[in-house]
Structure 1
Amino acid sequence: MIRALVLSLALILPGAALAVKPDEILDDPVLEERARDISTGLRCLVCRNESIDESNAELARDLRLLVRERLVEGDTDEEVIEFVVDRYGEYVLLNPPARGSTLILWLAGPAILLVGLGLAASYVRRRHHATAPDEDALSDAEAMRLAEIMKD
């Protein structure tokens, strides 16, 4: 069991590390660290739910190079992110800010959860207060029909 877990991790983890190619890495370790921090917060527009740091897509590579290029030119982290967002829209952010149109997305999950809990609570309350049908009593017509069936 533990061997399988270790083997799975050994196979999965290097894949993410191989996304950034050696020719992309900056010589300055401080700038490279900043580039990695920025890249983990930017979405690959091809892979959708991977950061550009994890993705092997060509567009992700282009975005990684763009981030590094902007950092080398002297942009702050915020300026780099703003530049990429201006170019590709807020969708490129893995964690978009809760404002404007994204506020609806941030609130939709909890709202749906609350509605679901309310529906479940009302269902349970109705089931609890419902009276059980009297299954033992037969109507006159049912009793006569049963008597006919039992005779045959």
Structure 2
Amino acid sequence: MSRLFFLFCLIAIQTLSPANAQEKTESDFPPAIEAEARTVGKSLRCVVCQNQSIEDSSAPLAADMRQLVRERLAAGDTPEEVRAFMTDRYGNFVLMKPPFQPDTFILWGAPFAFVLIAALCWRLYLRPGERILDTPDPLSDEEAARLRARLQEPGDI
């Protein structure tokens, strides 16, 4: 009996296909809406993953956002209206290319500030060529004589 149960479990596991675990595509929308939704989805950031668009993310929230984009486009919204809706809902962070505004200044200005600070540090601390000391003048005869006398004296130096 246990062999039969084991065989049944083995067959059941084999029939489960990895393809069934993949997310199904939104096929209930017309191809034109689907293509437009993919374009809009590439411009929207997944708020869970933060480094992927909602089209590239496999997070459940990204799937909900993709569905929302398709529903809004099917309802007649333009891509700009869909982006505005998502921005109102999630903030400028949801856009893959956020606008240049006071609240996104750090995001846009940080790379330039980093380069400026690196250049300033290079100028102040590394300055190639300026750290090489000049060769000192040779000792005069009088200085050489005093040095020899000091070196011959007994005691600690």
- TM-score between both structures, scaled by the size of structure 2: 0.67
Question: Could you tell me how far apart the structure 2 residues matched to 1:45 and 1:29 are?
Answer: 26
Query: What amino acid is aligned across from residue 115 of structure 1 in structure 2?
Result: I
Instruction: Extract unaligned runs of 5+ from structure 2.
Output: 1-20, 140-146
Matching of residue 64 in structure 1 with residue 51 in structure 2: no
CA distance in 1, matches of 2:22, 2:37: 14
Residue 75 of structure 1: CA displacement? Answer: 0.2
Distance 1:58 1:39, change over 3 A: same
Which letter does structure 2 place at the counterpart of 1:68?
R
Provide, for residues 46-100 of structure 1, a one-character-per-residue CA deviation record: whole Å limited to 9, x for no partner. 1110111001110000000000000000000010011111111111111101112
Gap change, CA 1:126 and 1:104, over 3 Å in 2:
same
**Equivalent of 1:108, from 90, 104, 110?**
110
- Uncovered stretches (5+) of structure 1, i.e. residues with no partner: 1-17
Shift of 1:127: 5.0
| Contact 2:87 2:94 survives alignment (8 Å) | yes
- Which of 131, 134, 140 lines up with 2:133 in the alignment? 131
Cα deviations across residues 21-67 of structure 1 (Å, max 9, x unaligned)?
32x13542221111001101111111110111001110000000000
Instruction: Tell me by how many angstroms 1:124 deviates.
Output: 3.7
The code of the aligned residue for 2:63 comes to: R
Distance 1:25 1:82 in 2: 25
Structure 2 residue aligned with 1:51: 53
* Greater C-alpha radius of gyration: 2
Letter paired with 1:131: L
Aligned residue number for residue 98 of structure 1: 100
Query: Contact 1:53/1:60 (CA < 8 Å) preserved in 2?
Result: yes
Between the aligned residues of both structures, percent identity stands at 40
Show the 5 A alignment for 1:29-40: 29-40=31-42
**RMSD across aligned C-alpha pairs, in angstroms?**
3.2
For residue 55 of structure 2, give the secondary structure of its aligned residue in structure 1: coil
Counterpart residue identity of residue 65, structure 1: Q
Question: Is residue 2:133 matched to residue 1:119?
Answer: no
Q: Does the Cα contact within 8 Å between 1:19 and 1:55 map onto a contact in 2?
A: no
In the superposition, relative to structure 1, how do residues 25 and 90 fare at CA in structure 2: closer, same or farther (>3 Å)?
farther
